[in-house]
Structure 1
Amino acid sequence: MPDQIRICIADDHAVVRQGLRAFLNSQPDIDVVAEAATGSDTVAQAQRFNPDVMLVDLMMPGTDGFEAIHRIRQCCPDTAIVVLTSFSAEGQVLRALRAGALSYLLKDADALQIAAAIRKAARGEPVIATGAILKPTRIAGEQASGLGRLTNRELEVLQLIADGLSNALIAQRLVIGEGTVKTHVNNILSKLHLTDRTQAAVLAWRHSLVEYHPDSG
């Protein structure tokens, strides 16, 4: 992790950007180098400054946050992207992570939690918000090696989880019973030492088991 974490704040509300800048610049190891108010400007600022971390809202004028994240991952692959939004629906979380976000925070997180998530992002460590609770999502070596213990059917189910499909839709796609899908999901979580579907989806994306589609979600 760099001694000074260079970050860019992307949000269409000036008061939000000003509040975040004031607090984050008070941290000795964080330096706010740029701000952006639109999706296209977010991408432009990423290209101009190549920050260590981007703090990105999802709902911005023009290019939305999802597409901005996808473009940043293409042009600045070393920049970690932390979503900071008011939307907590699972579909939004999955879509943002699929686009390339490393972490997903809610705007009711306190300033210290945001700063901690930025530091983790600079180290390549994701943090996912569930409700108002922030939890680390560790992609440990034993979890990665667990992928090799999955059956072909379990890998298919994992890929569909990462694509945001429910158990019912997975059952339809694979022409199997919903109870069978539930058993596969439980086996996947057990073999990968994970606690929920979102963590399983993150693991799948980190290991390129699924691809991003701009119109998904």
Structure 2
Amino acid sequence: MTVRLVIVDDHPVVRDGLRGMFVEQADVEIVGEAADGEQGLAVAVRERPDVVLTDLRMPGLGGAEFIRALAERVPSARVLVLTTYDGDDDVLPAVAAGAIGFLLKDSPREEVFRAVRAAAAGETVLSPAVASRLLDQVRRPAPRPAELSERERTVLALVARGCTNKEAAAALFISETTVKTHLAHIYTKLGVSDRASAVAAAYDRGLLP
């Protein structure tokens, strides 16, 4: 089977180099090239390639946004990332967006050839550095939600009963400013922005009877 390949990279030298590499591969046909994500999407829609070999950081449409657009417009195309960047801000969004493989540009050419063929077959391909980052992310314990203090729970309980800040302050013999401060901390800990959402979130988490 011949693998139909589209190359997307904003550096002409890189595209020329990749084209020269794949000329030697009888089972890979380059059916299109593009200098950015918008062009790459147009080419992929027109050519319906098996694999799109793409950089991440490009002008205009690039990175995870480009990969996501490809998945929507050309779901049959497998996206293989070939880039110089391997930070969490690059790897994780790209994989989450649908990239089936992730290689660094210093990978040996034979590894790139194997990756393109594997991607066409639906196999996941990750460089060792990228695989290590993903494993670290999976193994990293999820952050525990911040717990409300006893006073914050009391303030929230009064709010849940319909008390205003003034009424809560009077009930607890504290100032309205202190009540507002407690509420601000509660919003932050619960990840909400208003009283109603705070009460709803507290009930969902079993913080209120």
Normalising by structure 2, report the TM-score: 0.64
1:27 is matched with 25
Residues 29-48 of structure 1 mapped to structure 2, 5 A cutoff = 29-48=27-46
Name the CA distance, whole Å, in 2 between partners of 1:44 and 1:173.
Answer: 44
Inter-CA distance 30–171: structure 2 relative to 1 (3 Å threshold): same
1:81 is matched with which residue?
Answer: 79
Change in Cα spacing, 1:73 to 1:171, as seen in structure 2 (3 Å) is same
Q: Describe the superposition over 1:30-63 as per-residue Cα deviations: whole angstroms up to 9, x where unpaired.
A: 0011001011111111101010000010011111
Consecutive unaligned residues in structure 2, runs of 5 or more = 148-209
Correspondence 1:115 to 2:113: yes
**Alpha-carbon shift at residue 172 of structure 1 (Å):** 2.5
Percent identical among aligned pairs is: 38
Whichever of the two has the greater Rg, that structure is: 2
Q: Which of 143, 156, 159 does residue 171 from structure 1 map onto?
A: 143
Match of 2:104 among 93, 106, 120: 106
Provide the residue aligned with 1:53 in structure 2: 51
Count of aligned pairs between the two proteins? 144
Partner of 1:65: 63
Matched, 1:128 2:116: no
Q: Distance in 1 between matches of 2:146 and 2:25?
A: 50
Aligned residues of 1:105 and 1:134 also touching (Cα < 8 A): no
- Paired AA for residue 100 in structure 1: G
Task: Using the TM superposition, give the Cα deviation of residue 166 of structure 1 relative to its aligned residue in structure 2, in angstroms.
Answer: 4.8
What are structure 1's unaligned runs of at least 5 residues?
A: 138-160, 176-217
Alignment of 1:188-199 (within 5 A): none
Q: Which has the higher contact order (CA 8 A, sep 6+)?
A: 1
CA RMSD of aligned residues (A): 2.3
Which residue number corresponds to residue 9 of structure 1? 7
* Segments of 4+ moved more than 3 angstroms: none
Q: Which amino acid aligns with 1:6?
A: R
3-state SS in 2 of match to 1:54: strand
Q: CA–CA distance in 1 between the matches of 2:96 and 2:145?
A: 20
- Distance verdict in 2 for CA 1:44–1:96, change over 3 Å: same
Between the aligned partners of 2:145 and 2:6, the Cα distance in structure 1 is 41
Contact 1:88 1:130 in 2 (8 A): no
Specify the code of the residue in structure 1 equivalent to 2:78.
Answer: A
Q: Distance in 1 between matches of 2:103 and 2:145?
A: 31
Q: CA deviation at 1:134?
A: 7.8
